[in-house]
Amino acid sequence: MTLAVCGAVSACADTSNTPASQRGFFGGIGAAVSGSDERRAAGLEQSATDAERKKQQLEARLGAANADAARTQVQVQAAEQRLAAVRSDLQRQKERLAALRAGSPSGSSAEEAARLQKELDALERERRAAQDASTAVTTATLRNLEERTRAIGVALDRLGAV
């Protein structure tokens, strides 16, 4: 008979979505017999576990994003410093070339001075373009500018020795 009463109580009390505080006595008995409270608790625990796992994943992604941002900032600053060094070198080379030209080089020296002036002008344009895009400038571009600037320095040394 007890089983029949419990079956009747559980059939009458739909407790799957009703909070325990609103079920009353028979609703509580029905929830105990049907196991809906345990299923609901298990579902809530699984939701909490999923939310915690997602939170940890998001925190890890945030940490990685912050590390990438810091690394990128360091790279941008390094690129800006290298571009500033190239700018200084180019300025010194322009001044040196102007002084050499003032010394009236003639013949092949004048041709070499004109070629160096064109190369310096081209390098200056490329440096400005790289400066404008300093967040996207590549290491290869910086290396190319530095190597070409050194090559002009060597050519100026040869021109000055003539």
Please tell me whether the overall predicted TM-score, pTM, comes out greater than 0.85 for this model. no
Is 115 domain-assigned? yes
Residue 125's domain comprises 73-161
Same domain, 25 and 83: no
Query: How many domains is the chain built from?
Result: 2
- Are 85 and 144 contained in the same domain? yes
User: Which has more pLDDT, 91 or 132?
Assistant: 91
What is the CB neighbour count within 10 angstroms for residue 129? 11
Asked if the structure places residue 135 within a domain, the reply is yes
In a domain, 60, yes or no: no
With respect to residue 83, please indicate whether it lies within any of the assigned structural domains.
yes
Residues 29 and 91 in one domain: no
Tell me: pLDDT of 57 over 50. Answer: yes
pLDDT at 50: 94
Mean pLDDT of 60-81: 87
Q: What is the pLDDT of residues 84-110, one digit of tens each?
A: 999 999 999 999 999 888 876 677 788
With respect to residue 46, please indicate whether it lies within any of the assigned structural domains: no
